[in-house]
Structure 1
Amino acid sequence: MYSDFDADEAWERLRASRSNPPARANTGSRRKTYSAALEQAQQLFRAAAVVGPATSPILTFYGLSQAGRAITAAAWSLKGEDWRLNTHGITSKTFHEPFPDIEIRTDLPGTQGSFVKVSKVLDSPVWEMDPLRLEDVWDLLPPNLNYPLTSRDRLTPLHTSEASVDEGDHSLLSVFVCNIPDRIVKAGTREALADFLTAYPAVAQHESYSNVGAAALPNYVRYDHGGGQLSMNWLIPEGVGTGFDGMATMAERQAHLRALARGYAGGRYFLPVLGSMKRDLHPLMAWWAVLYTLSMLARYEPAAWGKHINVDASPHTVPIERLLERAINHLPVLIADAITEVST
């Protein structure tokens, strides 16, 4: 699995952008906000890196929240004063529930809350009517693959890569889909796979996963530690194919994969669509929702938070510690990539 989590390099990218801010952040109050928000974000992340889990989620979340202001300041899609952010745009008040079952809600689409507005520019959904459980959003983060909160069946990111695209003599996008859960691989049936993929619309629309007949069973490559991967094929959209004999070029196949899977620091992931959402959450917004919840819990329920991070008393302590450590390295890269995304 390829990932590039060089936080120092990402901060260098972000700092270098401030002398010539991208897209709509290049003039006036948007330029001033872009620069000031990134400075605050970097300082908050630096502070979070040197404190313990008792306070680090508060600093990390507010660092991400300030970076969100730089993202909307740069976004081409936001005109006039529509880039300004007010309130959090996301709530979580059920801290009396078990840690995995804490509920997360968002404000209505079209409102000015930070979560809603940044979600809009990143083509990521909100879910004001139906709350999501913390565990369900937690499981959307690639670094949490090996850190479950409970023993329930999970819907986790399925990894793929542009580098693994097959450039064969055919008109398909063919690529490995990785991290298929052990329960699906062990079942080994077409029905089990199809039922699982209903939560992954982009994968469910595949054309085939076998070259030996429509009725063939999934030919998984099994992992030693459980689970596996499967080579899957998608039809290239009609009208695409500028290569030899009208075949899609490697660049065209990779572009189609980018349209199907979300980017995450150099890798690509198929993410599940939760609840009544129309599409999958952008990884940055999944981080946002999780860190918001942890920060509010730490800030307003410090005694309860203290129990969750007590390694002698809570099964969630180590997963929380690993998440907070990875946030410091992963988020600067995702923030820099998000600014590029909304500026292009």
Structure 2
Amino acid sequence: MCRESDMATSSFPLPLSGGGVRITGTWANMGAPSTDSVWRKVRGLRHRPPGAASTTERRAVFGAALEQAEQLFSAAKGVGYASRPLLLFYALSQAGRAVAAASRRATNDAWQLESHGIKADLANIRNLASISVQDKGRGSFTQLAPLVGSGSLAGGVPLGKIWASIPELSSVPLTSAGMPSFPALSYVHHQTASDVPDQEMRYIIYGWLVGLPARLLRKESEEKFATFLSNYPTLAGAQEAGTVLNRTVRRSDGLSFQLSRKWVAQGKESAEELQNRLTVAYLGDDVRYAFPAFDGGKLPLHPFLAWWAVLYTLSMIARYEPSEWVKVLDIDANPD
């Protein structure tokens, strides 16, 4: 999952670079890649590290951190859920060190990550959705945010909201009473058009935003849609698609629906640059999402950091409250 404008043209499970790094190659025609093929591609980066990881010290950290990340992710497959969050979080943490080592945005010693940089209030573990997660203002989480173009969690944000912003998890939300969620919205491109005002071509792209909560259909109105979409900073400037798309609102699976919208490029921005500004590639070059911001932030929370927050919280419960974690995992007693 890369931010293509300043990272990679390939989509990896991790944002492996930043700040001007471009990794050639694409998986767009491979379909859904296997885990082994993904790691094979990532492992190949270590022969010729991208970006700032080409320097001696950073290269050593980049290679070692990726090696540890791969081993920890692989080891997590072999243990039960009682212990798995511990291995998964530290695997992601090591991957974060590789991201920082490769990022050209990380100057001086900023690429050397320190501490987790995040905390979770574990006072009410049995209600997972309500656990408050917050960055510490310093440490790895906060250091990585600007490197991947992400917002942070300056104020306490319920785990349930962060969970719902991850594409694979939005369809299985944590149980919570009356907690509005802002899921990752997948973007399906419909067509590109252009106009030529004052001899300067501007591109217009039309497409569907898929995954809006069905609750918004109870009172369909442009004002309500606009208010909801204001939680997605990159989608600013979204307009009604007019007659290009037949229906503004299309019902979907009963739990969510899709909404047509159009966006106009800024200045000399190309159609591709416009699409990359609006969305992030996730698990494949052709699968794109818009992600929400939390706490009134101006930048969306990158899915890499959303996973960081979720896995950190679950790992802390498993590590420091093992008996409560086992109860949380009880399928017969816990709806989550």
TM range, normalised to the smaller chain?
0.7 to 0.9
Q: Deviations over 1:80-106 (max 9, x none)?
A: 322111111111133435211111111
1:93: which partner in 2? 121
Structure 1 or 2: larger helix share? 1
Moved more, 53-62 or 203-212: 203-212
Q: Deviations over 1:284-314 (max 9, x none)?
A: 1100010000001100010111111111111
Out of 191, 198, 222, the residue aligned to residue 190 of structure 1 is 222
Q: Deviations over 1:255-277 (max 9, x none)?
A: 20110122212221112221132
Structure 2 CA distance for aligned equivalents of residues 89 and 142 of structure 1: 24
Determine if the alignment matches structure 1 residue 154 to structure 2 residue 181: yes
SS of residue paired to 2:260: strand
Aligned partners of 1:209 and 1:230 also within 8 Å: no
- Where relative contact order (Cα < 8 A, 6+ residues apart) is larger, the structure is 1
Structure 1 CA distance for aligned equivalents of residues 235 and 247 of structure 2: 14
Residue 208 and residue 299 in structure 1: after superposition, are their counterparts in 2 closer, same or farther (change >3 A)? same
Moved more, 97-106 or 132-141: 97-106
Identity of aligned residues (%): 34
Q: Structure 1 residue 159: deviation in Å?
A: 0.6
Out of 83, 88, 94, the residue aligned to residue 60 of structure 1 is 88
Q: Give structure 2 stretches of 5+ with no counterpart.
A: 1-27, 196-202
Out of 289, 305, 329, the residue aligned to residue 285 of structure 1 is 305
Q: Structure 1 residue 148: deviation in Å?
A: 1.2
Instruction: Map 1:24-63 to 2 at 5 A.
Output: 24-63=52-91
The one-letter code matched in structure 2 to 1:26 is: S
The one-letter code matched in structure 2 to 1:39 is: E
Aligned partners of 1:219 and 1:230 also within 8 Å: yes
1:103: which partner in 2? 132
Q: Structure 1 residue 230: deviation in Å?
A: 2.1
Out of 248, 266, 289, the residue aligned to residue 237 of structure 1 is 266
Q: Structure 1 residue 218: deviation in Å?
A: 6.6
Structure 2 CA distance for aligned equivalents of residues 177 and 126 of structure 1: 24
Aligned partners of 1:107 and 1:126 also within 8 Å: no
How many residues are matched? 295
Q: CA RMSD in A?
A: 2.2
Determine if the alignment matches structure 1 residue 136 to structure 2 residue 154: no
1:221: which partner in 2? 250
Structure 2 CA distance for aligned equivalents of residues 131 and 64 of structure 1: 22
Structure 2 CA distance for aligned equivalents of residues 137 and 211 of structure 1: 35
2:281: which partner in 1? 263
Structure 2 CA distance for aligned equivalents of residues 224 and 99 of structure 1: 26
Residue 17 and residue 105 in structure 1: after superposition, are their counterparts in 2 closer, same or farther (change >3 A)? same
Q: Deviations over 1:312-344 (max 9, x none)?
A: 11111xxxxxxxxxxxxxxxxxxxxxxxxxxxx
Structure 1 CA distance for aligned equivalents of residues 268 and 293 of structure 2: 28
Instruction: Map 1:201-220 to 2 at 5 A.
Output: 201-211=233-243, 219-220=248-249
Structure 2 CA distance for aligned equivalents of residues 238 and 314 of structure 1: 53
Determine if the alignment matches structure 1 residue 294 to structure 2 residue 323: no
Residue 308 and residue 190 in structure 1: after superposition, are their counterparts in 2 closer, same or farther (change >3 A)? same
Residue 103 and residue 5 in structure 1: after superposition, are their counterparts in 2 closer, same or farther (change >3 A)? farther
